[in-house]
Structure 1
Amino acid sequence: MDLNDFKNSQTKVRQPQTNGFVERFNRTMLDEFFRIKMRKKVYDTLESLQVDFDLWLQFYNEQRPHLGYRIQGKKPLERILDFKNSVQNGS
């Protein structure tokens, strides 16, 4: 089933050849968020953890520098908006 013109596909777990971007994000999330926050703060509720994670995710997408060759030095949100504009303009 297509959702917003995207096709769903299945990938093998822990196979960087097929899902390397997701595996890299999971590692970054673990190293830059969870390992740091869990040392500094005891979370009483899942909701309080979610608030901090949402703030980190916003930082990751909108402010954190990304050096991967596919993202071309831009932040993820910038790449998404560039792609959206290119699709709308037909380029």
Structure 2
Amino acid sequence: MPKRVKATEAPNVPAITCPELLGQLIKAKRTGMKLKLRDCAALCGVGVNTLSRLERGNPNTTLAAAFSVLQGLGIQLTVESDSSAEEWV
């Protein structure tokens, strides 16, 4: 009998501030969708090793790969406006 995908919890934080938290978020979404690593990688158009590195929070994964996975899983990044953002303009 094939292994079932066990859902993991998403990080309970107000913001994703490091690669490890992004990886936890991605893994929680994937497992919540009951997708195996290889199936999710195929869906997102990345390699299994790339997806695995993202989920482990490897900071050397490319931004392009991260966005492919986020898009494939339906995760949107949003910007919260604050007063310090105006300093960048």
With the length of structure 2 as denominator, give the TM-score of the two structures: 0.30
Larger radius of gyration: 1
Q: Looking at secondary structure, tell me which structure has more helix per residue.
A: 1
Question: Which one has more relative contact order, counting CA pairs under 8 Å at least 6 apart?
Answer: 2
